[in-house]
Structure 1
Amino acid sequence: MKSKSFARNYALLICMLGGIVGGCIAGAIWPCIKDDSGTVLRAGATVLKPLGSVFINLMFCIVVPMVFSSIASSVANMKSRKRAGKIMGTTIAAFVITGAVAAAIMVVLMKLVPPVLVPWQDIPAGTVDEQKTMAELVVSFFTAEDFVSLISRKAMLPLILFSMLFGFGVNLNGGSESLTAKWLEDLSGCMMKVVKLVTYYAPIAFFGFFADLTATYGASIAADYGRALAVYYPLCFLYIFTAFPLFAWFGGGREGVKTMLRHILRPAVTSLGTCSSVATIPTNMEVAEDTGIPKDVSEIVVPLGATMHMDGSCFSCVLKIAFLFGVFGQPFDGVDTFVKVILVAVLSSVGMSGIPGGGYIGEFIMCSIFFPNQLELAYPIAITIGNLVDPPATMINSAGDYVVSFVVARFTDGKDWLKKASGQK
Structure 2
Amino acid sequence: MNLIIKLLCGILIGILMGMFAPDMIVRVMITAKFLVSQLIKFTIPLLILFYVTSGIANLPKNSGKLLGQTVGLAYLSTLGAGIFAFMVAESLFPALLSGAGQLPEAKTILTPFLELKIPPIMNIMTALAVAFIFGVGISSTSSEHLKKISDHGCDIIELFLNKVIIPALPFYIAGIFADMTVKGTVFATLHTFSLVLLAVIAMHWFWLAFQFVIAGIIQQQSPVNILRTMMPAYLTAIGTMSSAATIPVTLQQTKRNGVSNTIANFVVPLCANIHMSGSVISIASVAVAVIIMTGAGPVPSLLEALPFIVMLGITMVAAPGAPGGAVMASVGLLGSMLGFTEEMIALQIVLHLAQDSFGTACNVAGDGVIALLIDKLSDTQEDLMPVEEVI
1:84 pairs with 57, 63, 71, which one? 63
Q: Deviations over 1:211-247 (max 9, x none)?
A: 221222255328764443232233323433x124224
> How much does 1:22 deviate?
2.3
- The alignment-based identity, stated in percent, is 20
Q: State how far apart, in whole Å, the 1-side matches of 2:25 and 2:204 are.
A: 30
Q: Deviations over 1:188-209 (max 9, x none)?
A: 1221121111212222222222
> How much does 1:46 deviate?
5.6
Q: State how far apart, in whole Å, the 2-side matches of 1:320 and 1:28 are.
A: 28
C-alpha spacing 1:215/1:235, structure 2 compared with 1 (3 Å): farther
1:284 pairs with 235, 242, 250, which one? 250
Which amino acid letter does the alignment assign opposite residue 330 of structure 1? G
Q: State how far apart, in whole Å, the 2-side matches of 1:208 and 1:259 are.
A: 32
2:56 pairs with 66, 72, 75, which one? 75
The reply on whether 1:361 has 2:329 as its aligned counterpart is yes
What are the equivalent positions in structure 2 for 1:29-68 lying under 5 Å apart?
29=20, 45=26, 48-68=29-49
What residue in structure 2 maps to residue 189 of structure 1? 155
What are the equivalent positions in structure 2 for 1:223-372 lying under 5 Å apart?
225-240=193-208, 242-255=209-222, 257-326=223-292, 327-359=294-326, 360-371=328-339
> How much does 1:309 deviate?
0.3
- Root-mean-square deviation (CA, aligned residues, Å) is 3.0
C-alpha spacing 1:251/1:67, structure 2 compared with 1 (3 Å): farther
Q: State how far apart, in whole Å, the 2-side matches of 1:246 and 1:197 are.
A: 35
Q: State how far apart, in whole Å, the 2-side matches of 1:70 and 1:166 are.
A: 12
Which amino acid letter does the alignment assign opposite residue 201 of structure 1? A
Q: State how far apart, in whole Å, the 2-side matches of 1:222 and 1:299 are.
A: 37
What SS does the aligned partner of 1:201 have? helix
Q: State how far apart, in whole Å, the 2-side matches of 1:223 and 1:344 are.
A: 32
Which amino acid letter does the alignment assign opposite residue 74 of structure 2? F
Q: Deviations over 1:289-324 (max 9, x none)?
A: 333312232222111111110011111121232023
The reply on whether 1:169 has 2:169 as its aligned counterpart is no
1:22 pairs with 5, 9, 13, which one? 13
Q: State how far apart, in whole Å, the 1-side matches of 2:99 and 2:298 are.
A: 12
> How much does 1:259 deviate?
4.6
C-alpha spacing 1:250/1:156, structure 2 compared with 1 (3 Å): farther
> How much does 1:54 deviate?
2.9
Which amino acid letter does the alignment assign opposite residue 73 of structure 1? S
What are the equivalent positions in structure 2 for 1:130-209 lying under 5 Å apart?
151-152=121-122, 155-175=123-143, 178-198=144-164, 199-209=166-176
What SS does the aligned partner of 2:60 have? coil
Q: State how far apart, in whole Å, the 2-side matches of 1:399 and 1:194 are.
A: 23
Q: State how far apart, in whole Å, the 2-side matches of 1:223 and 1:330 are.
A: 26
Structure 1: unaligned runs, 5 residues or longer: 1-9, 32-41, 125-148, 418-425
C-alpha spacing 1:367/1:118, structure 2 compared with 1 (3 Å): farther
C-alpha spacing 1:120/1:355, structure 2 compared with 1 (3 Å): same
Q: Deviations over 1:158-213 (max 9, x none)?
A: 321221101122223334xx111012112212211211112122222222221221
> How much does 1:94 deviate?
0.9
What SS does the aligned partner of 2:233 have? helix
Q: State how far apart, in whole Å, the 1-side matches of 2:24 and 2:196 are.
A: 27
Contact 2:86 2:302 in 1 (8 A): no
C-alpha spacing 1:85/1:63, structure 2 compared with 1 (3 Å): same
Contact 2:79 2:309 in 1 (8 A): yes
> How much does 1:151 deviate?
3.6
Which amino acid letter does the alignment assign opposite residue 297 of structure 1? I
Q: State how far apart, in whole Å, the 1-side matches of 2:212 and 2:285 are.
A: 24
What TM-score results when the alignment is normalised by the length of structure 2? 0.83
Contact 1:46 1:215 in 2 (8 A): no
1:396 pairs with 352, 362, 368, which one? 362
C-alpha spacing 1:30/1:228, structure 2 compared with 1 (3 Å): farther
Which amino acid letter does the alignment assign opposite residue 381 of structure 1? L
What SS does the aligned partner of 2:232 have? helix
Contact 2:247 2:272 in 1 (8 A): yes
C-alpha spacing 1:370/1:218, structure 2 compared with 1 (3 Å): closer
Query: Which sits farther off after the overlay, 16-25 or 180-189?
Result: 16-25
Q: State how far apart, in whole Å, the 1-side matches of 2:359 and 2:336 are.
A: 22
Contact 2:41 2:120 in 1 (8 A): no
C-alpha spacing 1:169/1:341, structure 2 compared with 1 (3 Å): closer
C-alpha spacing 1:395/1:17, structure 2 compared with 1 (3 Å): same
What SS does the aligned partner of 1:277 have? coil
Q: State how far apart, in whole Å, the 2-side matches of 1:375 and 1:276 are.
A: 27
What are the equivalent positions in structure 2 for 1:118-129 lying under 5 Å apart?
none
Structure 2: unaligned runs, 5 residues or longer: 106-118, 384-391
C-alpha spacing 1:354/1:218, structure 2 compared with 1 (3 Å): closer
Task: Count residues with an aligned counterpart.
Answer: 364
Q: State how far apart, in whole Å, the 1-side matches of 2:154 and 2:343 are.
A: 45
What SS does the aligned partner of 2:188 have? coil
Contact 1:16 1:202 in 2 (8 A): yes
2:80 pairs with 92, 101, 122, which one? 101
Q: State how far apart, in whole Å, the 1-side matches of 2:261 and 2:237 are.
A: 22
Which amino acid letter does the alignment assign opposite residue 361 of structure 1? A
> How much does 1:399 deviate?
2.1
Contact 2:52 2:135 in 1 (8 A): yes
> How much does 1:21 deviate?
2.0
> How much does 1:358 deviate?
1.2
